[in-house]
Structure 1
């Protein structure tokens, strides 16, 4: 590819994932604000990109001629999808291409595209032709009739999936039910909250910092945006004709993570969190690490104290089990929960210093843990394992907050 064609690539926005209130206008070109910007996030879609650009251009040229743009946002695909898309720009003047080399992820790709967009209405469609392009006109009609958000849904009349397995159908429905339990105020507003095919008014999400996890950006739009009226249009999700599916178990884990984070950062809990300035994301990671420590703690406690094993005294067994769990938790927290700090202080003396602090703080927490364990076991619930879980929960809050303030912080400044 020559230098002149590279120059025409869109510049990748940087900074926070926030949509500007006014459309992006490049003063060096003859750009002007337009009605509709459609983002097509891609990764290894070389075999599909030409077809989808052709179909979308024909459809939108008839519906809103000259008043739209297509923006391909490619995550530096090894098959050079961005290069194929770039070669089409002469034939399709409404097409622009962005190549991201420093970031990855579907949700952030969509937001970066929206940041560079000129449209008053912002949309997203998959680049693999699994979203039928003809539904776009129905979604646009819904917006023109006053909706803030128009969603293509598989779960209303006219919608469905073409050939999903029983397992995939079960996982999809299960994810939706789980979402309704965790975040009913968001997922209860649409029939297909996992849809990746929708459009929204710029004004509904302008000046809001989005913080997506994984690929379900619709949750972020509804949860954080100022979305009033919502309309839905049924569509049948088609199996891809070219390329390979990118849906894995990891997407379901990210979906649950996203639900929990939205639940803790929006609504009443979100307002409390803002007032307390509490690092929810870091606490969730700390909690997951602590959960691994629970299994270690429980296993060692059983081996040491159960009457069928070593039958050691409960307090002594708890101290040994707790210390082993502390070592487990430190290793995971240093590598994951506080990795941003650890990476800046990687020398062994720094790591040893963090471990000693962590150990002292957690030993203090262990004293608290033992006290709570004995109080609950002797006076409230005469079950060693339930009492132990309650003691662990109390100590977790102590351990996180004090370690946040003392153990993982940058102390050496060059």
Structure 2
């Protein structure tokens, strides 16, 4: 069978990045977009795996849409040659635009599915997780996210630097845009599904690689579900993650935050939890001062060592009470020793950042504004208490909307 490759291409939508409502003709249950760039060595395998999975789950009721950014290795052409074998496959070749987020949206604009999804074309997202995400959407979720940071999730072989950058980007996001970034445990995920009705007619303004932030920030997302997955190492091709993606991520956060563009914010400040957190902090202050006095007088340790040890004892005290009381509902859902240890290490890191922040605030108020250190100190403590609570709420004890 001869295939006319030029006529087989799916037309590239133009104009605003806006998803239409579900078309009445030729509607499908599910459309999955696979954005690609130089993935000719992977595309055949991922199409085969996805087809096998979806043929069983949604026979004749789905489509795969490969959106290629005119790859030099001609990924789009390799994908087109698969069309006779895989009737559910469609291929779009973008020759003027670039970028993962816009590729996903253009693919969704040409899709016919009630549920819209995205998965990487490099086999780093395990395809079998699709079935769990589909189940979440079918049981009422508006958005289902594959997460590396919930039970069953992780990374296969990431080094310290890559983990640090990923977590650091998430922390920055929590500070700039807590009402969006804080709604999911893995806001950097590029593997998710969304109900079309939740983003239809919303004017999207994507930037860079993190399309999930755009969906949460501008869509009408009520219920969110998360499914754990282990991020795999690339089997073929080269990674496209560079410093530029981190810069685009920061710019995207600022764009979402500015000028009231977000359609729905969920930044409810949990007063009851904050009061418990404050009481625990007060008990930590008592432990800190008592331990400091005991170490100085009974063990005659130096000031520096006494300060460090007493502060750490206070951190341990605060963590235990917060884990048991302040965030007890969350902790009981994550009872394993390893999970508790991870929460403790995060709590320590947040407290250390709080100490640094407090020092900078006191110094700034004293040196720049000539505010007495005895006035500056309690102001800084109050600010840092809010900081510690909010970051721990979103990072150490994940209090999110997810099911």
Shorter-normalised TM range? 0.5 to 0.7
Aligned equivalent of 2:15: 15
Match of 2:81 among 67, 87, 94: 87
Q: Is the 1:74–1:98 Cα contact (8 Å) retained in structure 2?
A: yes
Q: TM-score, normalised by structure 1?
A: 0.62
Give the corresponding residue for 2:195.
201
Partner of 1:307: none
1:104-143 correspondence runs (5 A): 104-143=98-137
Query: Which structure is richer in relative contact order (CA contacts within 8 A, separation 6 or more)?
Result: 2
Give the 5 Å matches for 1:265-344: 265-266=259-260
Secondary structure, aligned partner of 2:59: coil
- Kindly indicate whether the alpha-carbon contact (under 8 Å) linking 1:24 and 1:116 is maintained by their aligned counterparts in 2: no
Match of 2:42, SS state, is helix
- The CA deviation at 1:381 is 6.4
Aligned 1:139-158 pairs, distance under 5 A: 139-158=133-152
Deviation of 1:3 after TM superposition, in Å, equals 8.1
Question: Is the counterpart of residue 46 in structure 1 residue 36 in structure 2?
Answer: no
Aligned counterpart in structure 2 of residue 169 of structure 1, from 147, 163, 167:
163
User: Structure 1 residue 188 and structure 2 residue 182: aligned?
Assistant: yes
Equivalences for residues 16-31 of structure 1 within 5 A: 16-23=16-23
Cα distance per residue 1:85-144 (max 9 Å; x no partner): 000010000000000001000000000000000000000000000000000000000000
- Deviation per CA, 1:225-280, whole angstroms, max 9, x where unpaired? 00010000000000001000000111101000000110114368999xxxxxxxxx
Deviation per CA, 1:208-231, whole angstroms, max 9, x where unpaired? 111011010000000000001000
Q: Is 1:139–1:233's contact at 8 Å kept on the other side of the alignment?
A: yes
Partner of 1:4: 4
Aligned residue in 1 for 2:343: none
5+ residue gaps, structure 2: 266-367, 371-403
**Structure 1 residue corresponding to 2:234, chosen from 230, 240, 245:** 240
Secondary structure of 2:34's counterpart equals: strand
Cα distance in structure 2, aligned partners of 1:92 and 1:3: 13
Task: For residue 47 of structure 1, give the secondary structure of its aligned residue in structure 2.
Answer: coil
Larger radius of gyration: 1
Runs in 1 of length 4+ with deviation above 3 angstroms? 265-271
Counterpart contact for 1:24–1:115, Cα < 8 Å: no
Q: Contact between 2:217 and 2:264, CA under 8 Å: does it hold in 1? A: no
**Residue 249 of structure 2: aligned partner:** 255
Give unpaired runs (5+ residues) of structure 1.
Answer: 26-31, 272-379, 383-414
Query: What is the distance in 1 between the residues matched to 2:262 and 2:8?
Result: 45
SS at match of 1:46: coil
Match for 2:220 among 226, 241, 266?
Answer: 226
CA distance in 1: counterparts of 2:138 and 2:216, whole angstroms: 19
**How far is the alpha carbon of 1:8 from its aligned partner?**
1.4
Deviation (angstroms), 1:6? 1.0
Task: Report what 2:316 is aligned to.
Answer: none
How far does the alpha carbon of each residue in 1:294-333 deviate from its partner, in whole angstroms, 9 at most, with x for none? xxxxxxxxxxxxxxxxxxxxxxxxxxxxxxxxxxxxxxxx
Superposition CA RMSD, Å: 1.9
Contact 1:70/1:94 (8 A) holds in 2: yes
Which residue is 2:209 aligned to?
Answer: 215
What number of residue pairs does the alignment pair up?
A: 267
Once the two structures are TM-superposed, the CA of residue 24 in structure 1 deviates from its matched residue by 8.3
